[in-house]
Structures are given as structure tokens and as C-alpha cells.
Homo-oligomer: A and B are copies of this chain.
Amino acid sequence: MTKTVPDVVARRLPRYYRYLGELVGQGVSRISSRSLSEKMKVTASQIRQDLNCFGGFGQQGYGYNVYELYSAIGEILGLNNRYRMIVVGAGNVGRAVANYTGFRLRGFVIEAIFDISPELIGGSINGIPILDSAELGAYCREHSPHIAAMAVPRGAAEELARTLEENGIKGIWNFSHVDLDCSVPVETVHMSDSLMTLSYRMANPNK
């Protein structure tokens, strides 16, 4: 696994992982690249090419061992690590993240939520304590969380990202409507980009 993996391939891996997880759940033990491709609406040769980036899986005419492939992709995705997370911002998006229990199953454990609102500080969401944002840096130095989910207003995002970086955060999952320039990996969920893509597809149905 010394080859560089194109970003588009890396971005398809979570989807493969989700589908394979469903197959594992259904007790399917083998699948042909053709069936997998029909399920996933990607060509069979695309799947073979993508998986070849990570070494050989499956055999010609015999298909993939579902569980083996699922585990291997999970390992590539780093999902056998356990990530300790914090959520910065206890608004609607922060709450949605804190309440979604599916992340925990995949090894992402949320340990604290931060907000500036005196009415929220001291409370909890889904059993996770809400702490004062003023203590964010000190908390990071003491507890070394790996990932921060940032769901704060646009104007506050850059300063908070700097605080997180300076205090050792390893990755930022960004829901604020701004592109962050950080030295650690940042993955931004641009909700409005996604809505514009929908608009594009509605306006250009034949493209």
C-alpha cells in the first residue's frame, strides 16, 4: 500500500464500506463485482480498479469475500482506531451530531460539547456534558481529543479552529459555512453546496 490513492477513490471508500456493512448484516458472505456494482451504481471495472489501489481483493469469477473486504476497507479508513471526539457548538447541527448514535458504533466517541451560552453550559445532550467554550484549549491539552466537530457560526470558526490546532487536535469535521485553512486534516460538510448541486440537477435533467 505504497501507491498514492486518488482523492475520488478515497471518497468512494465510505460508500463501499456502508454497502458491505449492509451485506454483512444480511449474512451475505460472497458477492460478485457485478452484483456489487449493480447495488452501488458504479461499473464493475470501476470497483475493481478502486480496490486495486489497495492491493488484490477477490478472484476472477469467484467474487469478493464480503466480510474480508468490509474489514479491509474499514482498516484502510482507519475505523479500527477509536477516536475520541468533541463537539464545538451546541446549536441544531451540534445537537444532531451529539444525538446520532451511529457514530459511536464506528468508534467515534463524543466526550464533551462546548458552547458559549450560559444557559447551556453545565447541561448535557445525550448524556454528554456541555462545557464552556472558554475552556476549550485547556480541555484539549488535558484530554487530547482526536477530532473536533465544529458547528459554530461562520464568524467564530477560524479562531476556534486555531485554538483547536494549537492545542493538539488531530482532525476537524467542519459544519461551519467557511473553508478552513489548517495544518491538520479538515473535512467540511457544505450543506449549501449540496443544495446547489440538487438545484443544478433539477435545472439540467439531461446532463
Contacts and interface: CB of A to CB of B under 8 A. Distances in A.
Contacts of A170: 202
Contacts of A185: 198, 201-202, 205
Given A8-B8, A198-B147, A199-B81, A189 B192 contact: no
Interface in A2-29: 4-5, 8, 10-11, 13-15, 17-18
A187 interface: yes
A102 interface: yes
Copies in the complex: 2
A85 to B, nearest CB: 9
Contacts of A193: 11, 14-15, 18
Interface in A106-123: 106, 108
Give the one of A170, A195, A204, A207 with max B CB within 10 A.
A195
A91 B77 CA distance: 29
A134 interface: no
Interface residues of A, number: 57
Interface string A164-207: 00000011110001000000111101111111111111111101
A101 B188 CA distance: 19
A46 interface: no
Interface in A72-120: 76-79, 81, 83, 91-93, 95-97, 99-100, 102-103, 106, 108
Contacts of A199: 77-79, 81, 83, 108, 171
A103 B192 CA distance: 7
CB-CB nearest 3 A-B residue pairs: A78-B203, A92-B96, A14-B193
